[in-house]
Structure 1
């Protein structure tokens, strides 16, 4: 099968003089380090912790896919509720679900590179150049990954036109009006939301919902970001993190969080073209396909409207999978060889 190269895709889109956006999945992180960021790596780490409950879950359901385990637990709980089973058994299922979520967060934390400067400079530069292609076109960057690789690259390389919507607000506005010195908040989502072009569709380890504000942990010289997150986890303060199984459950989680809902709405309103990297459009990604199709269904041919989607594939099997579901997309679909993108300068 003849595939386009990444350079051919970008050259073609650039000539169209329309914005082009990027959607990244787990393949973005796996391209950095497959041993750390694959489902299997997280599974191996979790099961090596000798947690009997978590090990039993994986053995019974016979999968290494966390999302599938979560889906099975949710289905079991719904059946128990429907048949009026005793509350103790339902609580056991709820506990198992919470334990799996906690274990997943802990595993990602412990497997994650220690801090931003552990990323080799060559890789950080190459990734920044890759991301800048989309941002400079007026497009957006969307990620479904929980890890902080994207955030770290943007911090380390100081990508000036990357805006995640977070900023600082004045906490003592009444005192300032009376001539006092301004005191600023931590990084909260809102001050730069109008210009936001970087979106974590399923949340991320560094983004927290306090119930009042959406906050972002920030790296500094005295406290590495991972250490700050660890302290939050110890206080049972968890990141915004979509762990539900199927597309409907993920969308329900998204709609119940104002940050996630905003990011999802922007995906649904895309203008120009969309390029995907490391995103396989699996059976649990129907909500993403629906958002893309909504962006395609503009009422006329004036912006905003999504005109085409360019999907990166790594193998013939990947290509065959996309071709088998091509009819689900309402926009024009083209395939390119994801290996030619060279995101991390390998």
Structure 2
């Protein structure tokens, strides 16, 4: 999950982000807008993404999600609040009916980017990430090269502070690679847009 200044961006932890936003009983409701609305044709089991109707979208799913479906002429999102049916059951029913999630599952970064560029929704999310500023918190991301199409946007945006989660031994091979990659991204920024890098223990985030 990635939380960026006034935007919340769902990456590999998109379901975790979605769950966290719904947990009203844990405290004050977090204000957010993922751009999905009741369809123009009237209420139904899902909501649709209609960006021309709003300019306040603050939540983006960079690689789509299992609860977001490409219905050809529209992008649909399934939600528990509309039906009272658990999300996983709605997803299974939709797939059994021949619908498939808008979800980037391709392997390499260039393949993922090609998929992103063929979707209005994913392209809009990718562009939004390139325009963020302030502090960027990255939770549960490996900083692997197959996500270079996302990480490379850190060269372009105005993030000033990058905070990255580390799980387990900070000096393990995987965590050493994450730390080096994050620090390299910072050193590649132009002097006019410096970016500091900090790391934190992923297990210290006790919201879930």
Decide: shared fold, TM above 0.5. Answer: yes
Q: CA RMSD in A?
A: 2.5
1 or 2, which has the higher strand percentage? 2
Which residue number in structure 1 is paired with residue 176 of structure 2? 320
Give the superposition deviation at 1:222. 4.4
Q: Is 1:142 the counterpart of 2:9 in the alignment?
A: yes
In the TM superposition, what are the counterparts of 1:234-313 in structure 2 within 5 Å? Answer: 234-295=96-157, 305-313=158-166
Task: Tell me by how many angstroms 1:319 deviates.
Answer: 4.5
- Equivalent residue, structure 2, for 1:23: 2
Aligned to 1:209: 70
The answer to which structure, 1 or 2, has the higher relative contact order (CA under 8 A, 6+ apart) is: 1
Separation in 2, partners of 1:324, 1:225: 38
Greater displacement, 306-315 / 265-274: 306-315
For 1:280 and 1:336, locate their aligned partners in 2 and report how far apart those are by CA, in whole Å: 13
1:293 Cα deviation from its structure 2 partner? 1.2
Cα displacement (A) at 1:278: 1.2
> Going by fraction, where is helix more abundant, 1 or 2?
1
The SS at the match of 2:80 is coil
Q: How far apart in 1 are the matches of 2:97 and 2:17?
A: 26
Could you tell me whether the CA contact under 8 Å between 2:140 and 2:202 is conserved in 1? no
Instruction: Give the distance between the partners of 1:146 and 1:233, measured in 2 at CA.
Output: 21
Distance in 2 of aligned mates of 1:275 and 1:146: 13
Distance 2:202 2:151 in 1: 23
Structure number with larger C-alpha Rg? 1
Distance in structure 2 (CA, Å) of the matches to 1:141 and 1:270: 10
C-alpha deviations, 1:55-79, integer Å up to 9, x for none? xxxxxxxxxxxxxxxxxxxxxxxxx
Give, in whole Å, the separation in 1 of the partners of 2:84 and 2:6.
34
Moved over 6 A (4+): none
Once the two structures are TM-superposed, the CA of residue 198 in structure 1 deviates from its matched residue by: 1.3
CA distance in 2, matches of 1:214, 1:169: 10
Q: Gaps (5+ residues) in structure 2?
A: none
Picking from 38, 58, 68, the partner of 1:168 is: 38
Matched, 1:155 2:15: no
TM-score (norm 1): 0.50
TM-score for both structures, normalised by structure 2: 0.80
Structure 1 residues 63-116: Cα deviation after superposition (integer angstroms, max 9, x where no partner)? xxxxxxxxxxxxxxxxxxxxxxxxxxxxxxxxxxxxxxxxxxxxxxxxxxxxxx
Matches within 5 A, 1:1-346: 23=2, 139-145=6-12, 148-157=15-24, 159-171=29-41, 183-184=42-43, 186-190=46-50, 193-220=54-81, 222-295=84-157, 305-314=158-167, 315-317=170-172, 318-325=174-181, 326-329=183-186, 330=189, 331-339=194-202, 341-344=204-207
Deviation of 1:320 (Å): 2.2
Cα pair distance change 1:228/1:340, threshold 3 Å: closer
